[in-house]
Structures are given as structure tokens and as C-alpha cells.
Structure 1
Amino acid sequence: MKILSYISAIIAIVFLNSCEDVVHVDLDTAAPRLVINGSIQWQKGTVGNEQKIRLTTTTGYYDTVIPSISGATVTVTNSDNVTFNFIEEVPNSGIYLCHNFVPEIDKTYVMTVVLNGETYTATETLKSVAPITTIEQKNEGGFSGTDVEIKTFYNDPGNADNFYMFKYKSSINAMPTYDVSEDKFYQGNEFFGYYTNEDIAAGDQLNITIYGISKRYFEYMKKLILISMGSGGPFSTPPATVRGNIVNQTHPDNYALGYFNLSETDIKNYTIQ
């Protein structure tokens, strides 16, 4: 009973002061951990030779600057033993560029990052994607019946199990939203990605990207999306760290965050009607 009374008191205090004061909670900050954003994206209709991998570290919750990592050796090698070098052309940017990458559907690639005497590796296969066929808009969506709903259609090929990721970047929001889908219940049929926004209006722009992804990356992104939505409620167990496919071969306990994935993509720009 003492614990319940204590929690109730805290809630009451926060509620009574919420109109006047900003609550700043002191949080413990863990030691920085390497983050590898190794997302290789091959847009349909392009050569796909220009690619980048970004290295950063984790930082405090209230920090506004994400630290970049320089001085690493970054390579990607395909299953034919052809190696592509990623070079940090702008000092201290943490962005490593490759200008001669060769993307091939269903080919396996190994990313290697050597930093401070430690070697990180990840293996992934480049997945194809079904192209976007049509985009439909409905203006009577959501609980209110006034939200804009967008359906992005594609024809799923029936000869394999396929996994998809959608990214929606609107002109009115700073950050994109993501969704993932698997063809378990619509294999070989037409299906759609779904986006809704109560604030978007006629004339606003929506950039839509569909990615072909692996099953493991689908499961990884699904977990991240659920965490970002806060689906567990205010008193749920704090989520554990979501580990990607990157392995520290030198010291396994000093793992890196992030994921190495390769996707064929299709992109459409849509103007809200």
C-alpha cells in the first residue's frame, strides 16, 4: 500500500505542475557504444554505385548532437570476393562513401568495420522489391472520419516469401514514419502499404519508399517500430536493447548497435489532393 500511495502522490504532483513546469528527469548515461548505419539502397532505374555507411556513437537522452566516428576502415565484400572500399572523404563526418559499388539481387555481402583494434562484421543478402503500381487517397479515414489515408499498391510475386518496409516522409513532419509487412497472407496478390495523418492537407508532399528486405531485418524493424510507438503502456517493462546483425569479432561483449542491410527500393512522390 505504501508503494501505491507513493506512485499516486508522484502522479498527482506531476499533474498539478504540468501546466507550469517542465519536468527534467535525471537519467543515468551508459558508456558510448558504436552505432553502424549500414543501409545499402538500390533505387530502381539507377546504377546504385553511390552508397554510404555512417558511424556514430550513442549519447545522452537530452544531448542534441550525435557524435560521429572517424578513423575506421570500412569495406563491403560480395560473394564473388570483390571488395568495395568506403572512405570518409569529409574529415570528422562519420560518413564513409563508395562510388563504385555494384548491387546484385540475391547476392550476399559482408560488411567489415575495423575501429580501434576491433573488427565488426555483418552478412546480408540484397533483396528485390515489387514496384509501386498505384497510390490511392481517402479523406474520411481515422477515428474522426476526417483523416487523410494513403494506400500504396504493389503486386507481390508468388514465387518466394517476401518482406517489405515502407518509409513515409511528409513535407509537414521533420521525421519519417516506417512500417513493415510480410506476404504471408497475400503471397502472389496485389496488396498495399497504409499511411494516415490527421494533420496533412491538400498540397502537402509525401515521399513514399518501399524496400525489399530480409526476414531478419523485418523482425528487427518490427521490434523498433513497436518500441517507438510506446505500445507497452506507461507501466510496462522497459524494452531491452534491440540487437542487429553486427558482430564484434574481437570482443563480442563490446557489441555495436545498428544493422547492415541491402535493399532494392522504389520511390514515389505524391501530392496530397
Structure 2
Amino acid sequence: MLKRSLYILLLFTLSCIDPYKVEIPEGEQLLTVEGFITNEPGPHLIRLTRSDTYGSVFEGLIRPVTEAKVALRDSEGNVTFLSEEVERGSYFTPAGFQVQVGRSYILQIELQNGKTYSSLPEIANSVPQIDSLSYESVRTFTSDRLNDKVGTQIYAYFKDPSDQTNFYYWRSGPGDYVLVANPELYTLPPTHPTNPRGPAPKDCCDICFAKENSRIQSFAIAADESFNGLSQKIPVAYIQDDGLRFKRTYRTEILQMAVSREAYRFLRLVQQQINITGSVFDQPPANIRGNIIGLTDPDEVVLGYFIVASVSRMPLYIENSRLSESVTPRIIPDDCLTVPGTTLDPPSYWNPPRD
């Protein structure tokens, strides 16, 4: 009798609970500006997008800002207009445009709704040339020993000038690599009427060339406060081994850029946010303000940073035979041309050094 009364009481209590609705305010659709211009001949890309709002049916999508008027103005009064090309929200300088070292540049934007924006002036500082590049295998141990992280660490060697304060920004360019496949291991599909999954070796092709160009790129930064005027070896890029990239030869380019003090501070804050791991010692997450201000509404928050830089660029070829660590190679049991984006011909700039 006591148990029955207890069940009735519990049911009565549960039936009286009303769901609590949590009202989450929608976030702002913030204008985001990303891109940089350099002293190399253009075209250079400036991309305009809008951040999404909470609860939107399009949540997670990047919304391009189209049909804007975008221009560059330098400290000599020269104005260069950018045109929207290739994809929506992407604005390009003319093909021959390049910044002049010693001049400062301002990015100006006018949207369809009439709102105007401007960057703060960014000066183009000179950059020392990269003397050479080197690389080595790096294994990062994880809690699962069978899935340690393996990759290639790239180093840049250069001489820092002693007559100025320098702020460095390194990025790696698009990667190209020899894609090795195994068409001799091809088998028929399971739906084949006479011999499902039976061996059916293909004569071609086992060697192709693949390109990768992720929009999400790692970067490195440094200030010469501790090495002013000295020769340096700096780790500037890391490329993870995915089982395909380093089966034969991988090519990338390292861009060494000189940026302003303000751009360096912005990139350092971004780097701190990227490196958050969930530890109690992490920097607290922050909404990082860039160098774009709203002229129509000075209180409007604009994300991103307009960077002006001079560049020293050098290609690097990474050979599998010179790597001491690697992950288990991935097998492609088919013609390598079945992998999207591959070709049989190498890029026009493919020129690995000969031993």
C-alpha cells in the first residue's frame, strides 16, 4: 500500500512540471573583413562576409557581402578600386597592383545600404629575405599511442636587420603533392552481377598531382625584441601527415611578411584564441577588434583586420625519403584520377631539386 501511494505521488509530481523555455537573444550580423595586400604584383583579395545570428535557419553559413564599393587609398593620394570577381563577396585589386614600401594604405568600403567603413592606416615595412628553409619530422604523443600526431615542422633562416624594429608574420602557400594510388588493387563493386568484389586491376594510373588550399591556415608570428640584428632560425609552419601528403614529394611556399606593430598585436590575440585547449590556464575567450571602423556608426563592431605587408617568398619541397617519422600510408585502391582535383601533369612551377 505504501509503495502504491509513493508511485501515485511521483506521477502527480511529474505531471505538474511545465517545460521552461530559455529565450536566447539573436546575435548581431557583424561585418567581417579579411585579406591583405603586399608588394608582390596582384591581384590581391579582400573578402567581405557577415557573421550569422543565433537561431537562424542558416546558422553556420558564411554569408558573402555583395555589390559593395571597395577601394584602396595610399598616403600619396592614389586610389585603386577593387572589383567583385570569381565568387560573391570576393574583391580583387587589378592584376598589376602592388604596395610600395614606406607608404601607408587605407581600405574603404561602402555597402549597398549606404553604410561606409574605413581601416586605420597600415604602413608597408621592408622585410628581410629568407636565406633558406629546412624541415624535420615531428611526432606529438597523445593518450592513444596508436594515433600519435605526426607532421613536418618547417624552419626559416634569415638575418634580422638591426636598424629597425621588425614584426614578422609567416604563412604557407597552397600545397601540391604527388598522389600515389594503387590501381592494381581495384576490385569490382559489390553490385557487379557476375563477380562482386572480384579483383579487376587497372592499368592506369598510379601517379597523379593533387592540390590543396584550405581557407583555414595556421600561421606564425614573431617580434625581434629578443633577436634584433641577429641571424635566426624560426619555426614558421607545420604540416600534418594525413597518410597521403608525404608518400612521395610535397611542395609548399613559405611567405615571410613584415607587418605593422598593430597587425602583430592583432595576430597575437588571434593566436592565443586558437591555442585555447580548455585548461584553467587558458586566456579567456574574447571578441577581438580589428582595424576597421564604421564611419556611419562608430559604435558598430567590425571583425577582421586589413593587413599591409612586404613579402619574401621561397618554395620548399619535402621528400618522403628524408622524413624520419610517418603515419601508416593510406591506400587508394583505384585510378588516382578518380580522386577529385587531381591531374596527370605537374603544375607549371613544379621543379623539385635534384640530388
Does TM, normalized by the shorter one, top 0.5?
Answer: yes
Going from structure 1 to structure 2, the CA distance change for 1:224 and 1:148 (only over 3 Å counts) comes to same
Write out per-residue CA displacement over residues 59-88 of structure 1, whole angstroms, 9 at most, x where no aligned residue.
Answer: 268945311111211111111111111122
Residue 83 of structure 1, aligned match among 79, 82, 99 = 79
Partner of 2:309: 263
Write out per-residue CA displacement over residues 147-169 of structure 1, whole angstroms, 9 at most, x where no aligned residue.
Answer: 64321111111110001011135
Partner of 1:108: 104
Partner of 1:228: 274
Q: Within 2, Cα distance between the matches of 1:113 and 1:78?
A: 15
**Quick check: which has more Rg, 1 or 2?**
2
Q: Within 2, Cα distance between the matches of 1:74 and 1:64?
A: 26
1:142–1:196 Cα contact (<8 Å) kept: no
SS at match of 1:185: coil
Write out per-residue CA displacement over residues 227-253 of structure 1, whole angstroms, 9 at most, x where no aligned residue.
Answer: 011156269674121001111122112
Going from structure 1 to structure 2, the CA distance change for 1:266 and 1:113 (only over 3 Å counts) comes to same
SS at match of 2:61: coil
Going from structure 1 to structure 2, the CA distance change for 1:229 and 1:28 (only over 3 Å counts) comes to farther
1:69 and 2:110 equivalent? no
Q: Within 2, Cα distance between the matches of 1:162 and 1:71?
A: 37
Root-mean-square deviation (CA, aligned residues, Å) is 3.0
Q: Within 2, Cα distance between the matches of 1:148 and 1:79?
A: 41
Per the TM alignment, residue 183 of structure 1 is displaced from its structure 2 partner at its CA by 0.7
Partner of 2:154: 150
Per the TM alignment, residue 173 of structure 1 is displaced from its structure 2 partner at its CA by 8.4
SS at match of 1:112: strand
Q: Within 2, Cα distance between the matches of 1:151 and 1:185?
A: 18
Q: Within 1, Cα distance between the matches of 2:299 and 2:260?
A: 25
1:207 and 2:248 equivalent? no
Partner of 2:226: 185
Q: Within 1, Cα distance between the matches of 2:234 and 2:220?
A: 8
Q: Within 2, Cα distance between the matches of 1:197 and 1:98?
A: 30
SS at match of 2:158: strand
Letter in 2 for 1:72: A
Partner of 2:27: 30
Residue 118 of structure 2, aligned match among 121, 128, 136 = 121
Residue 39 of structure 2, aligned match among 35, 39, 42 = 42
Q: Within 1, Cα distance between the matches of 2:149 and 2:88?
A: 46
- Identify the structure with the greater strand proportion: 1
Q: Within 1, Cα distance between the matches of 2:233 and 2:164?
A: 18
Q: Within 2, Cα distance between the matches of 1:221 and 1:268?
A: 22
2:39–2:98 Cα contact (<8 Å) kept: no
1:56 and 2:97 equivalent? no
Letter in 1 for 2:38: Q
Going from structure 1 to structure 2, the CA distance change for 1:199 and 1:265 (only over 3 Å counts) comes to same
Q: Name structure 2 gaps, 5 residues minimum.
A: 1-23, 142-147, 177-211, 320-355
Q: Within 2, Cα distance between the matches of 1:114 and 1:145?
A: 45
Going from structure 1 to structure 2, the CA distance change for 1:140 and 1:244 (only over 3 Å counts) comes to closer
Per the TM alignment, residue 37 of structure 1 is displaced from its structure 2 partner at its CA by 1.6
Q: Within 1, Cα distance between the matches of 2:264 and 2:228?
A: 16
Q: Within 2, Cα distance between the matches of 1:215 and 1:185?
A: 15
1:164–1:182 Cα contact (<8 Å) kept: yes
Going from structure 1 to structure 2, the CA distance change for 1:237 and 1:49 (only over 3 Å counts) comes to closer
Q: Within 1, Cα distance between the matches of 2:83 and 2:314?
A: 30
1:121–1:249 Cα contact (<8 Å) kept: yes
Going from structure 1 to structure 2, the CA distance change for 1:238 and 1:145 (only over 3 Å counts) comes to closer
1:95 and 2:90 equivalent? yes
Q: Within 2, Cα distance between the matches of 1:142 and 1:132?
A: 28
Write out per-residue CA displacement over residues 73-130 of structure 1, whole angstroms, 9 at most, x where no aligned residue.
Answer: 111111111111112245x711122215341101011211112222211121112221
Q: Within 2, Cα distance between the matches of 1:252 and 1:231?
A: 34
Q: Within 1, Cα distance between the matches of 2:133 and 2:164?
A: 24
1:165–1:178 Cα contact (<8 Å) kept: yes
Q: Name structure 1 gaps, 5 residues minimum.
A: 1-26
Partner of 1:243: 289
